[in-house]
Amino acid sequence: ISGILRMVRVLAALVEKEKQGNLLEITLHTRLDVARTQAKLWDLAGWRRPVVYFEEWHEPLTTGIGWVSELIQLAGGVDAFAELSQGNSAKERKIDDAQEVIRRQPDIIIGSWCGRAFDREALMARPGWADIPAVRMAEDGMVCEIKSSDILAPGPAAIQHGLSQLQQLIGRWHARHHGTLAE
């Protein structure tokens, strides 16, 4: 996330639009602060954070990049594969065994397949995946797509659009489990 904010400043300086860049940076910081505050409210209520599996690609299974993991945490979730998120290449974020997703029992599954529509039904039909909490709650929207243009581009859209969708999903999960504070 800090890299996104830094690039806003650099780009604004390069095109001599520092005032507009500063305004955008303040707006992005405000979005981040709002998300952080909401997550803190859930934490203060003593509610556990939902485990979120973010799938960037399906063959081979590839989890999200660093800023996606940061946004999941900021929005109040726990990235199921945070240890892989620091890999810059998709090869470094590859999940070797699909059973590992089952073992980690994600509460929310997000598909964001670059250049291809997320196939929710195919994901839920994978062997053994019916035992995953998110799949059992699929009718409540716990298996869904966030468009790659909203979250996988390393720029303001990840904060402006991707973060708000993560917050909505995590808020919906809390509402199903805890009630109105999450709504």
In contact, 58 and 22? CB cutoff 8 Å: no
Global pTM reads 0.92
Res 167 pLDDT > 60: yes
Place of tokens 């904060």: 159
What SS3 string covers 4-64? HHHHHHHHHHHCCCHHHHHHHHHHHHHHHHHHHHHHHHHHHCCCCCCEEEEEEEECCEEEC
Q: What is the CATH number of the domain that holds 174?
A: 3.40.50.1980
Confidence of residue 133 (pLDDT cuts 50, 70, 90): very high
Token digits for 117? 């529509």
Give the chain's mean pLDDT.
Answer: 93
- Calculate helix-pair angle for 66-74, 18-44, nearest 10 degrees: 50
Res 131 pLDDT > 70: yes
Model pLDDT for residues 75-113, shown as the tens digit of each residue: 999 999 999 998 888 899 999 999 999 999 999 999 999
Question: pLDDT at position 125, please?
Answer: 97
Kindly state the helix (H) or strand (E) to which residue 143 belongs, with its residue range. strand 143-145
Question: pLDDT at position 182, please?
Answer: 44
* CA contacts within 13 A on the Cβ side of 166: 38
Domain span at 7: 2-182
Token digits for 52? 């979120």
Mean pLDDT value of segment 54-67: 95
Confidence of residue 178 (pLDDT cuts 50, 70, 90): confident
Q: How far apart are CA 149 and CA 173, in angstroms?
A: 24
Res 42 pLDDT > 80: yes
Q: How far apart are CA 137 and CA 110, in angstroms?
A: 13
Question: pLDDT at position 147, please?
Answer: 96
Mean pLDDT value of segment 128-151: 95
Could you count the other beta carbons within 10 Å of the beta carbon of residue 29?
13
Q: Which amino acid is at 178?
A: H
Structurally, the chain folds into a number of domains equal to 1
Question: pLDDT at position 181, please?
Answer: 52
Q: Which of 90-94, 96-100, 130-134, 177-181 has the lowest mean pLDDT?
A: 177-181
Token digits for 83? 């240890």
Res 154 pLDDT > 90: no
What percentage of the chain reaches a pLDDT higher than 90?
Answer: 79
